[in-house]
Amino acid sequence: MSKMREYFAQILIDEIEEFMPLDGKTMLDVGGAYGEFCSMMHKVRNVSAINLDPVRADANQWQYCTMAYADHIPFPDNTFDLSISRGVFEHIPSDIRQESLNEVARVTKPDGLIYILIPPWLNPHAGHSFKPFHYLPFPVAKYLRRVLKGRETPPNVKSYQDASLYPLTYHGMMKLIHNANCEVVGTKDTHFRLHFMTQIPVLNELLVPAVAFILKKTS
């Protein structure tokens, strides 16, 4: 695991343990790719972790990996003490986002926690390989990416959707959370650690590169 991922894994641990001790708990990482966070959580807190991702990246990733999508999670209700999804929901098509969050909530225990991290779309950081041009129509962003950053866009990528980017704002995430019958018990600024900024309207859309929503089920 890279030093940066280790750093963010420790941030995750610290933030969750403000609300729930992690030692010996069960966890599902939705869209965890290679499973580095599963590995770190197991190593540091003896968490029994499962990585859920549609693609098994390679044989060297975290050993407990289930191949599935977020909108169809193949586990029973109330299975995990903690469900996390870091930087995934902005890549989920808008028409299945609500179902995906509903599924994450379904497999989380009533006394457990859900941790969702997103880069609000109106923040300059949110456009991934197209940042900070993602506010603009795709052809303009593609042109500026090539001219100013020297990076060609693959020929099969003709829209943000082709690049698996679907705008998701702070306000939009809050609507998903409400509709999933969850409540927000904490919000965190995972980059600059200016947590109060996550509670200020407009600024939480524009100035926080990545917002973590810590949730509990209400029903």
The per-residue pLDDT for range 112-143, each reduced to its tens digit, is 999 999 999 999 999 999 999 999 999 999 99
Residues pairing with 65 in the sheet: 51
For position 55, what pLDDT does the model report? 81
Quote the CA–CA distance of 217 and 103 in Å, as a whole number: 12
pLDDT digits (tens, 9 = 90+) for 95-115: 999 999 999 999 999 999 999
* Average pLDDT, rounded, for the chain: 94
Amino acid identity at 109: K
pLDDT digits (tens, 9 = 90+) for 60-73: 678 899 999 999 99
Class of domain 3-120+168-217: alpha beta
| Domains in the chain: boundaries | 3-120+168-217, 122-165
pLDDT digits (tens, 9 = 90+) for 172-219: 999 999 999 999 999 999 999 999 999 999 999 999 999 999 999 987
On the question of pLDDT at 57 being above 70, the answer is: no
Residue 92 burial by CB count (10 A; 0-12/13-18/19+): exposed, middle or buried?
Answer: buried
**Can you give the pTM of this predicted structure?**
0.95
Reduce the secondary structure of the chain to three states and give it as a string.
Answer: CCHHHHHHHHHHHHHHCCCCCCCCCEEEEECCCCCHHHHHHHHHHCCEEEEEECCCCCCCCCCCEEECCCCCCCCCCCCEEEEEEECCHHHCCHHHHHHHHHHHHHCEEEEEEEEEEECCCCCHHHHHHHCCCCCCCHHHHHHHHHHHHCCCCCCCCCCCCCCCCCCCCHHHHHHHHHHCCEEEEEEEECCCCCHHHHHCCCHHHHCCCCEEEEEEECC
Amino acid identity at 195: H
pLDDT digits (tens, 9 = 90+) for 158-184: 999 999 999 999 999 999 999 999 999
